[in-house]
A = this chain, B = another copy of it.
Amino acid sequence: MTTPIKEHLAAPGPVAVPPAVLEAIARPVVHHRTDTFAQTLNEARAVLAELLGVQDEGVAILTGNGTAAFEAAFLASVPSGATVLSVHAGKFGARWAKLARVHGHEVIDVTAPWGRVVPPEAIADALAANPGVQAVTLVHSETSTGVLHDLEAQAAAVHAAAPDAILLVDAVTSLAVSELRPEAWHLDAVVAGSQKGVMLPPGLGFAWLSERVRAKPVSPRRTLAFDVHAELTAQAKGATATTPAVGLVAGLVAARPYLLEGGVEALWRRRATLNEALLAAGTAAGCTPFAERPSPAVAALRVPDSIAAPDVVHALAARGVRIAGGQDDAKPFLIRPSLLGHADAYDALGLVGMLELALRDAGLDVPAGVAVAAAMTVLES
């Protein structure tokens, strides 16, 4: 095997970015206090609003990553001292519990084992037992386990048990990937980052705030640099409260046709099909889907006990393909290929073909073509 001459990103972020988007990002810098940038910002916010099915007015583009956007949204909507219910069954969900604790909040954890969903009933029970809860954190697509939580049902459980509780949602790998309806589902804050479903490089965070949160900003303010309310006020006028990453904002506008041509529901279907193809291929090759309810963002696959997942990850890397492995306790057995970025059936077939080779490199006996054939069946169905 020779040194690879190309590099293929097949991880659940960062993702492959369309060349036209990279080109837009590379254009000479535009001053952010100009009509030119104001128009770009308005168009970028409109892309996010269309992806979320909301009005532009609640959408803020932040300079930072998804973690920063979550912290900003949290500090914009949860008052100091509030009791927080944190729902998590994976690495990212646990991060939001930690975040709340860092800011001095009492946190009640509602958890499930990695790979499982957290049932809405468990959330309802926890809220019934803790009537003082003022905010709830949820993760829509848990990237560490490949699980898509039933956010609609979880949010309904919160709404029924604690209608006044602020509901914050990590949509980092569900925005532009899976059905997500912030208003219909009564969410209060939805957070994402640029290097996932919207197909940009990392560096932007996104936060949508509900009307009730916007109407009642946390007082006193809890941050200066990450004040989403200040950003919303500025962005309504085509400006930003602090200096924005202008290149990436222009990139989001350039990404629009790759995301919204044909509408957001067509995008969700494309994502679902590609990920189902990966799961089917992995299963045909001898792996087992890890997620109880798979997210279209990532194909979490448990490799057979006879081989080591890191060997598969490294074999793919040696062949020029970058997938994610398992995190923490899941490292020995989990692989997480993903077609979250600028990808189509061609990429799916190339990736699963390379996965066959890498599984063989790692010592698994995979008959040539079985995974590709399984992927084809999904892609052509």
Binding site for B on A (CB under 8 A): 7, 9, 11, 13-17, 22-23, 25-32, 34, 63-68, 70-72, 95, 98-99, 102-103, 193, 195, 201-203, 220-226, 242-248, 317, 322
Q: Which residues of B contact A225 (CB under 8 A)?
A: 64-65, 67-68, 70-72, 99, 226
> Among B16, B17, B71, B244, which residue has its beta carbon within 8 angstroms of that of A223?
B71
Write out the residue numbers on chain B whose beta carbons fall within 8 Å of the beta carbon of A98.
Answer: 224
In the complex, the answer to whether A202 meets B243 with C-beta atoms within 8 Å is yes
Contact (Cβ within 8 A) A71 B203: no
Whether A15 lies near B34 (C-beta < 8 A) is no
The answer to whether B193 touches A224 (Cβ under 8 A) is: no
Assembly of this chain: how many copies? 2
Residues in B whose Cβ lies below 8 Å from that of A203: 63, 203, 245, 247-248
Query: Are A246 and B32 in contact (CB-based, < 8 A)?
Result: no
In the complex, A99 Cα to B224 Cα: how many Å? 6
For A248, list chain B residues within 8 Å (CB).
Answer: 203, 245
Does A29 lie within 8 Å of B16, measured CB to CB? yes
Pairwise interchain contact B63-A202, C-beta atoms closer than 8 A: yes
Q: Which 3 A-B pairs have the closest CB atoms?
A: A203-B245, A26-B26, A71-B225
Whether the Cβ atoms of A221 and B102 lie closer than 8 Å is yes
Known pairs A7-B28, A225-B226; list 10 more (Cβ under 8 Å).
A13-B243, A14-B243, A16-B28, A23-B26, A25-B26, A65-B243, A67-B224, A68-B225, A202-B246, A203-B248
A263 to chain B, nearest CB (A): 26
Instruction: List 27 interface pairs A-B (beta carbons < 8 Å), by A numbering.
Output: A9-B29, A11-B31, A16-B28, A17-B29, A25-B26, A25-B247, A29-B195, A32-B202, A34-B322, A63-B64, A63-B65, A63-B68, A65-B225, A65-B243, A65-B245, A67-B243, A71-B223, A71-B226, A99-B224, A99-B225, A102-B223, A102-B224, A201-B245, A201-B247, A202-B244, A202-B245, A202-B247
Contacts of A26 in B (CB 8 A): 22-23, 25-26
| B66 touching A14, Cβ below 8 Å | no
- CA distance in complex: A47, B317 (Å): 29
